[in-house]
Each structure stands twice: as C-alpha cells, then as structure tokens.
A and B are shown apart, each in its own frame.
Chain A
C-alpha cells in the first residue's frame, strides 16, 4: 500500500462543475502540499497545509490531521484547470523529503 493515496486517478467534468480530489496518507506528517502539473512537466505549488483550510481564488484545500485526509476543491471549474493535481506529504521523519501521490488527472470540458 502506498503511503499517499489519491482518488480519483482520473476525473472528467463539465465546465462549471464543483471538483473534489481526495488525498489520504498513512504516515505522520508535518505538512501536506497540493501541486498542479501541466503537460510538459512543470509543477506549481498550490497549497501547503498543516491544519485547517486554505483558499486561493477558486481553489480550496482542507486537511483533517486526525483522519489523515486532505481534499482539494475547485469551484466553477474551467477548461484551463485541466492538469494533473498531486498531493505530497512531508513526513515527520524528514525535513525535506516529500512522499508523493500518483496524481489525479483532471479534464474539464467546455
């Protein structure tokens, strides 16, 4: 079993839909990251969370430390949101290593 599991692996939705991507982890963490990767490989950090909830524009990230679970939400989704969304956690055992989920490929159709 992977230490970081994301669901779903693939998600196709219509423009305007509310999107939820889930991340569960099995290790003790000091922080959880949500990142966005577009075709071509570049990765952009969206959020870094250690508790609670963060919002940036149409993106919302939440984390429940007790349940070892985080969600990334996209409101009013748009085709430009199409990308791979990756959850990565920083283990308590390391100051620098990230444990990565496999990513969720999101396609938003116009």
Chain B
C-alpha cells in the first residue's frame, strides 16, 4: 500500500480479554516498530523488527505483550489478559532499513480501550 496501515483503528475490549492489533508496513520496508502512546504523553518504544526477527523487544512492558512478523511484512501485536492500563494508542512505523538517516513512516494508530 501507499502508507503504513493499522487495523482496527479503534478497539474496545473487556478487561481480561485477548486482542490483536495489525500493522501493514510500506512494501519493501524491512524495519518495523511498535510504539504505545498514553494520553498526554509522547510515544513509548515497544519493539523493533528487522525482517522477521525481533531485534529489540526491550520496550514490551511485560509478558502479556507479544509481537510477531512471520513473513517480514505484516506484524501483529498481541496482548493477553488485557488490563485497563493497557488503554492507549498503539502506533506502528516502518522504514526502508534501520539507520541514522532513515526516515520512519507512521500509521494512523489503533486506539485501544480496555473497559
């Protein structure tokens, strides 16, 4: 596609449920990033993929969070046993490669609300 696509754009779920958030990066971009943005704050790094592998998952807050990118393109962020504190906008970005002068392109985000 022309840009980074995230689905769904909004997700409301009950506490304790499992959710999956999808990111479709720009075609050909090998680097993919997930961020989480809570209300009134800047985005917080979660995980970075280079190709199919998670090169850095140090930002995942706990083991309820997991992300995959099995074919090096689409990525899914999975959250188990959701908690109200997981409510945030989850942003995905992709770039042609990782590097100091490589521009990242962002999706519109998925607004997750846990009730």
**Which positions in A face B, CB cutoff 8 Å?**
30-31, 33, 35, 40-45, 48, 50, 86, 88, 90, 92, 95-98, 100-103
Contacts and interface: CB of A to CB of B under 8 A. Distances in A.
Given A96-B31, A101-B42, A45 B106 contact: yes
Contacts of B95: 96
Contacts of A100: 42-44
A88 B103 CA distance: 12
A102 B41 contact: yes
B41 A31 contact: no
Interface string B78-106: 00000000000101010100111101111
A41 B108 contact: yes
A43 B106 contact: yes
Given A43-B91, A50-B101, A97 B48 contact: yes
A96 B98 contact: yes
Nearest to A35: B106
Contacts of A101: 42
A40 B48 contact: no
A100 B44 CA distance: 8
Nearest to B89: A41
B33 A45 contact: no
A30 B100 contact: yes
Contact of B48 (A30, A35, A96, A102): A96
Contacts of A45: 103-106
B106 A48 contact: no
B58 to A, nearest CB: 9
Given A40-B109, A41-B109, 11 more contacts: A31-B100, A42-B108, A43-B43, A43-B93, A44-B106, A50-B100, A50-B101, A90-B100, A96-B33, A100-B43, A102-B41
B65 interface: no
A95 B91 contact: no
A55 B103 CA distance: 16
A102 B91 contact: no
Which of B31, B100, B101 has the most chain A CB atoms closer than 10 A to its own CB? B100
Interface in B48-78: 48, 55-56
